[in-house]
Amino acid sequence: MSSLPLDQAVAVLEAGGFAVSLSWLDANGTHPGRVAAQFPGAGATGESIVRLVVGGPEPGTVLPDVLGESRSRAEYWLNTLGVAVEIVEAWDPDAVSDDGRPRAVWGQLPAPGAPITDVVTLWVNP
């Protein structure tokens, strides 16, 4: 199962009659959303549960990257995680012109990948 995307690995194991247990490993060298290891290893017999170690942080434990998303989509994603959103309307100072991507998120604090907090501030083009 190593290196397979998580959804494919789970489908293969469940089709083979195995129950699946997951743990997450957010470390250098792991690929987010892909299987980094499995226990017991391939070919082991007598086991009905397979534990997969998956690269990346466990979903729902860190803030998603909403940069470039519309204001409404970014607010929806964050609200589904129980995070309140504060909006600052201002043009992106790095934008080439003020006519690009109205209502797009160009700033996020805390940054994507940070632990989930109660409130996230988003900077959005007017």
pLDDT tens digits, one per residue of 95-114: 765 556 778 999 999 999 89
3-state class of 8 per DSSP? helix
CB distance 124 to 71 below 8 Å: yes
pLDDT tens readout for residues 21-76? 999 988 777 888 899 999 988 777 777 899 999 988 888 888 989 999 999 999 99
The residues pairing with 54 across neighbouring beta strands, listed in sequence order, are 24, 35
Q: Please, what is the Cα angle at 20 between 8 and 55, to 5 degrees?
A: 60
Q: How far is CA 90 from CA 15, 76, 104, in A?
A: 51, 20, 10
Domains, the chain, in order of start with CATH, read: 6-55 (3.30.10.20), 71-124 (3.30.10)
User: What pTM was computed for the model?
Assistant: 0.64
Residues with Cβ within 8 Å of 19's Cβ and at least 6 positions away in sequence, in order, are 48, 49, 50
CB distance 103 to 71 below 8 Å: yes
